[in-house]
Chain A
Amino acid sequence: MIDVSVMVVDDHPMWRDGVARDLQERGFEMAATAGDAEAALRIARTVRPDVVLMDLNLGDTSGVEASRQITQEVSGTRVLVLSASGEHSDVLEAVKAGASGYLVKSASAEELVDAIRRTAMGDAVFTPGLAGLVLGEYRRMAVAPDSGSRAPTLTPQETNVLQQVAKGLTARQIANKLVISHRTVENHVQSTLRKLQLHNRVELARYAIEHGLDGDDSEK
């Protein structure tokens, strides 16, 4: 796995350099580091790392918006959100905007390494915290008056799988418990995220058209 290149985006130099050094020691290729969202986007465009490790708390600039632009504009680059706990709505927004997963900063080095590898392979990194957020978002959309029939819903089994993830069960434990294959569990998890991201893009486009912002090319 030596060929996974990583870019670390964080506005705290101490943390940023520490993580970069840790990851290098563990055999990752450190493609670049950035201290703000603008630099992150600019560097990601040229360097095209496999994984961007994104802190959402970037001083004044938005890590959520940077995540959206990087996932949309830099093909082959995936964003893994590494953020402090408690920034729930930002984490949810970043994941809806295209980030592949979310890890709290207090996660262990092993968890981080594992998460980066899985992100590089294209898997969603579904921590219990993220599962709780995604479940909550589907529930919110189901009863929100404005989302109407357009809002995606979860199948009973998808709901069940997400609940088990949120309760800390591993994919294998969930597979055993629900008597389905390991792969089916992964598929369910991925699909809940994909539906959410697709819905978010559709909603954004609809919003842009309704408000006459479609001529704005800042997103292209």
Chain B
Amino acid sequence: MANQRTTGERVDSRNTTSDQTLQPSTHPPDGRSPLWRAHNVMRVVMLCYALIWFTILVDDYAYPLLGTAVLVVMALWTAFTIHRYRHRSGRTNRLVLADQVVVTALFAICALVMTDDQLKAGLPTVVTIWQGSMVTSAAVQWGMLGGGICGVVAAVGNLLMRGLIDSNMAMDTVLHVGTGLLLGLASDTAVRSTERLSKALRAEAATAERERLARSIHDSVLQVLARVRKRGAEMGGEAADLARLAGEQEVTLRALIASSPPEPDEDGGQDLAARLQALSTARVQISVPATPVPLPVATASDLFSTVREALENADRHAGDEARVWVLLEDLTEEVVISIRDDGEGIPEGRLAVAESQGRMGVAQSIRGRVEGLGGTATLETAPGEGTEWELRVPRPESSDRQHGSGHRGGVSR
């Protein structure tokens, strides 16, 4: 119950918290939030820098009033964008685009505000390095490409206004473009790693939920089914039939909660041992190694279907009382699966008849599948001795076996 309550709290908190909390929800957090905060701080710092130069230069401007107006608009725009950029919903492409236009326009007006001498002398414009904040916002929003492009736009605007290239101009150009590229790269990386993190968190939450379910099934349903099966079998008659049904459901449920869904691992491999577990029933015993038997997903799926086909075939033809044993062995270079039933077997000379009954059709299908995987399938049978399939499939070289993965290296706890 503690688990359930925790889950409930998390659901509640999801509605109230901002995007900065890492919630394994369908709405992944914005990994660029710290970069936006940095941008906002930088924009204020840049504004203060511009203010200082303004107080020094204001008396010499060609149009001091226009200069003041530019500074006021800068301050208002700074306040407005900071307000919008603080929350994820405000970080729209349209606003960032407007940001580029506004900053560039203010920067262009500076050409009127300043005297030619001031421009030639390389004195700071009214906007000065505040111009760079358009590059940072573009880089954070659009990544490396967008940041780079806006860096070039800012640098070109700067060069056009001054109409000359000296060492200061060259440095400004490098700084604009470099800032755009670097911050853009950081933004791209942040987005990617946040995606990865939230994916991992989702997987973790799913696993935890599955384990909780498994525990609760194990503690309740399975115990009851086991009792029904045991007592019913002892009572006999119709109760024994019910008991057998309960037993089959018990085995199915156990297999279901015991084998985690066979999700491909990071190398694209799948544990065939875990998949085969799901085929175990009251009459089918599956024996596998304790360590995973990783195979490429396609191979594992093909083998799984083949085994299932062989089991269905045995179910149809071996007789009602027949039991089936499946053994999976991992010989590193190849995987061997044996499927044996203790049914009636196929009498000698009856293979032709069996063929007409459709039985050989299944045999050919099994052979075909295994040979398609580059392996061999042999069938041994004798009257009264059941049938035994042996499927040998080479392991593709690309899928290196990871020895001892999830195991404690031969030393038990």
Do A93 and B413 touch across chains, with their CB atoms under 8 A apart? yes
A12, B325: Cβ atoms under 8 Å?
no
| Chain A 127-169 interface residues, beta-carbon cutoff 8 Å to B | 127-129, 131-133, 135-137, 139-141, 143-147, 151, 163, 166-168
Per-position contact with B for A86-117: 1 when CB-CB < 8 Å, else 0? Answer: 11110111001100000001101100000000
CA distance A58 to B166 in the complex (A): 78
Bound Cα distance from A128 to B277, whole angstroms? 14
Indicate if B340 sits at the interface (CB-CB under 8 A): yes
How close is A112's CB to chain B, nearest CB, in angstroms?
A: 10
- Nearest-neighbor residue (CB-CB) of A88 within chain B: B290
Chain A's closest residue to B323 (CB) is A168
Contact B407 A128, beta carbon cutoff 8 Å: no
Q: Is the CB of A143 within 8 A of B332?
A: yes
Partner of B289, one of A133, A147, A204: A133
Q: Report chain B residues within 8 Å CB of A166.
A: 287, 325, 327, 338
Find the A residue at minimum CB distance from B333: A143
Assembly CA distance A193 to B342 (angstroms):
26
CB-based nearest A residue for B253 = A84
Partner of A62, one of B230, B259, B290, B413: B413
* Distance between A147 CB and nearest chain B CB, rounded to angstroms: 5
Of A108, A136, A168, which one neighbours B325 at CB under 8 angstroms? A168
A140 touches B404 (CB 8 A): yes
- B285→A128 contact, CB < 8 A: yes
- Which residues in chain B, 225-259, are within 8 Å of chain A measured between CB atoms? 226-227, 229-230, 233-234, 247, 250-251, 254-255, 257-259
> Which residues of B sit under 8 angstroms from A84, Cβ to Cβ?
218, 222, 254, 258
- In the complex, which residue of chain B has the Cβ closest to the Cβ of A203? B411
Within 8 A of B (CB), among A9-61: 12, 14-15, 18, 22, 57
Contact digits for B254-284, partner A, Cβ 8 Å, 1 yes 0 no = 1101110000000000000100010010100
Specify the chain A residue showing the minimal Cβ separation from B332: A143
Across-interface contacts of B223 in A (CB, < 8 A): 12, 14-15
Q: Is B219 an interface residue (CB 8 A)?
A: yes
CB<8 Å pairs between A and B, sample of 13: A86-B277, A87-B258, A88-B273, A89-B406, A93-B412, A105-B254, A129-B285, A129-B287, A133-B288, A135-B289, A140-B330, A144-B410, A147-B409
Closest 5 CB pairs of A and B: A136-B289, A86-B258, A132-B287, A168-B325, A92-B290
